[in-house]
């Protein structure tokens, strides 16, 4: 019976493929770039357009206006955040879906082979900005609900949605709103699903249960009040840049191992069960090396260590030096002040505040060893906590079962090395299980030129969403 119901929903999706592609076309044609001032009106239009789609399906919607902020030197109102509710049946559990309606900037002159804000179908792929990040997945949910309604099948869970239009610009305003909704809109949530990431490769579907956090650091060394000529002053003055380079060189060794004592103290120990998960992941080290175009890996022959280095271990990266001469040519300057920038990707249970303190103390101790007369200031910029969820939770079981039904294979359980800070906010505010359920694949080029989603992932992904909703109703009982 359940399989017949699922087949009926999947048939509706199959029969309406070209209509669903047309809806994505409409969405891609709204250039909702959140970090440009000129397209702010399109962000507002995109929220309104989505609200219209949800209302047509019977969602109760609410537009939450946001405060002003600065964009490209202009004071503007942040795009509104859309809240939506479908179903208030007290006998059903409630799923919360999050997605974003804004996109990264894109211009044909950046090197696109297609018009970024027109949807182009080519060899099974749907090209266009936002096709995979994140308009395709958001529409996947909309179409999943439509499939239930048009097929006369009851959705076994109540659905709530939060759709924002500032994700590509730091989700400004969202965290505050979510916290303020803790005892109202978000008080009755039973599980959370976010479709805003990608498969590990191009073949096997994934469920993602962890993300790294981040601590960003600035190390400022100042040696004087003005830049100096090296011919006139070199040799006689104590320079800032060698001090900074020496300090930055105390952070990691040649293998990328972090040299700061105490930094690993709070990292969760690897259990046998977790270790086994990594053995099961199909991941081609050679392909990965080719993809990232890098000469050397820190662990050249071990797939498992490489994955753990990307997902479950902290990593320190040095990003740049502000104030150092970096133009082409040879300029004989002694910079008066230089600022080194590095960050550490954090993993459970590291906390940005504690890591900040450890790093600062370490650099100040090293500075004392250096014995420089210059001035040092170490400061921590933005930070975000790492996130990990229980992947044995019914929310994950429902998604895993649905994946097998649609794709015929077990999903890979993945973590990601990057940070989506709002994920942990959803977990903290609702107190419930959060899952990342990706629709697109690793080569979709989110944020890049020629962003696409394959038509297969768009349509099968919609089938995955209906199958997941069916299973979730059974699993969450
Ligand atoms: Zn995204």
Domains of the chain, by residue range, sit at 2-211+386-475, 213-267+313-384
The CATH number of the domain covering residues in 2-211+386-475: 3.40.630.10
Measured distance CA(302)–CA(225) in Å, rounded: 50
CA of 102 to the centre of ligand 1 (A): 8
Give the residue ranges of the chain where pLDDT is below 70: 1
Measured distance CA(69)–CA(144) in Å, rounded: 35
**Cβ atoms of residues 221 and 378 within 8 Å:** no
Measured distance CA(194)–CA(306) in Å, rounded: 26
Q: Is 222 an annotated catalytic residue? A: no
CA of 194 to the centre of ligand 1 (A): 10
Neighbours of ion ligand 1 (CB under 5 A): 133-134, 196
Question: Based on the number of CB atoms within 10 Å of its own CB, is 166 exposed (0-12), middle (13-18) or buried (19 or more)?
Answer: buried
Measured distance CA(101)–CA(82) in Å, rounded: 10
- Classified by CATH at the fold level, domain 213-267+313-384 comes out as Alpha-Beta Plaits (3.30.70)
pLDDT at position 167 is 94
pLDDT digits (tens, 9 = 90+) for 239-268: 999 999 999 999 999 999 999 999 999 999
CA of 457 to the centre of ligand 1 (A): 16
Measured distance CA(326)–CA(342) in Å, rounded: 17
Tell which residue, 208, 135, 132, has the closest CA to residue 436: 208
The tokens for 62 are 């609410």
Active-site residue, from 133, 134, 167, 190: 167
Tell which residue, 11, 210, 154, 171, has the closest CA to residue 79: 171
- The DSSP code for 35 is T
Task: Tell me, letter by letter, the H, E, C secondary structure of 147-176.
Answer: HHHHCCCCCCCEEEEEEECCHHHCCCCHHH
pLDDT digits (tens, 9 = 90+) for 400-435: 999 999 999 999 999 998 888 899 999 999 999 999
Q: Is 102 an annotated catalytic residue? A: yes
pLDDT at position 421 is 83
CA of 389 to the centre of ligand 1 (A): 20
Across the strands, what pairs with 219?
Answer: 340, 378
Do 213-267+313-384 and 2-211+386-475 fall under one CATH topology? no
CA of 136 to the centre of ligand 1 (A): 10
- b/e map 36-72, b = 16+ CB within 10 Å: eeebbebbbbbbebbbebbeebebebeebebeeeebe
């Amino acid at each position: 019976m359940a399989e017949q119901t699922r087949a009926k929903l999947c048939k509706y999706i199959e029969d309406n493929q070209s209509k669903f592609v047309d809806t994505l076309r409409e969405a891609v044609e709204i250039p909702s770039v959140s970090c440009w001032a000129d397209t702010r009106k399109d962000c507002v239009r995109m929220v309104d357009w989505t609200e219209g789609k949800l209302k047509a399906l019977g969602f109760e919607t609410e537009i939450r206006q946001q405060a002003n902020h600065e964009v490209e030197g202009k004071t503007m109102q942040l795009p509104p955040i859309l809240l939506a509710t479908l179903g208030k049946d007290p006998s059903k559990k409630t799923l919360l879906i999050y997605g974003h309606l804004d996109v990264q900037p894109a211009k044909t002159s950046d090197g696109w082979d297609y018009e970024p804000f027109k949807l182009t179908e080519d060899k099974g792929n749907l090209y266009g900005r936002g096709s995979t990040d994140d308009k395709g997945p958001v529409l996947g949910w909309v179409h999943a609900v439509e499939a239930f309604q048009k097929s006369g099948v009851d959705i076994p869970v109540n659905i709530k949605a939060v759709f924002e239009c500032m994700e590509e610009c730091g989700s400004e305003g969202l965290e505050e709103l979510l916290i303020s909704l803790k005892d109202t809109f978000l008080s009755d949530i039973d599980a959370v699903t976010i479709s805003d990431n990608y498969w590990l490769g191009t073949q096997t579907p994934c469920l993602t249960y962890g993300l790294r956090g981040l601590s960003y650091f600035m190390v400022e060394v100042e040696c004087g009040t003005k830049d100096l000529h090296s011919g006139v002053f070199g040799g006689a003055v104590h320079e800032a840049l060698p001090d900074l380079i020496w300090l930055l060189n105390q952070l990691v060794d040649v293998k990328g191992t972090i040299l700061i004592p105490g930094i690993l103290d709070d990292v969760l120990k690897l259990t046998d069960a977790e270790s086994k998960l990594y053995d099961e992941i199909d991941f081609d080290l050679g392909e990965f090396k080719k993809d990232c175009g890098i000469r050397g890996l820190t662990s050249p022959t071990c797939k498992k260590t490489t994955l753990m280095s990307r997902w479950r271990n902290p990593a320190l990266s040095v990003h740049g030096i502000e104030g150092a001469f970096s133009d082409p040519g040879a300029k004989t300057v002694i910079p008066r002040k230089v600022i080194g920038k590095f960050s550490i990707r954090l993993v459970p249970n590291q906390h940005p505040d504690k890591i900040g303190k450890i790093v600062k103390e370490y650099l100040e101790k090293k500075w004392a060893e250096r014995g420089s007369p210059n001035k040092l200031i170490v400061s921590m910029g933005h930070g975000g906590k790492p996130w990990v969820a229980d992947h044995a939770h019914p929310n994950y079981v429902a998604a895993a079962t649905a994946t097998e039904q649609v794709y015929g294979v077990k999903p890979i359980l993945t973590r990601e090395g990057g940070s989506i800070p709002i994920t942990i906010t959803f977990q903290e505010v609702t107190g419930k299980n959060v899952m990342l359920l990706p629709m697109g694949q690793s080569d979709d080029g989110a944020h890049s030129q020629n962003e696409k989603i394959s038509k297969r992932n768009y349509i099968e992904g919609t089938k995955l969403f209906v199958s997941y909703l069916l299973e979730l109703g059974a699993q969450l009982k």
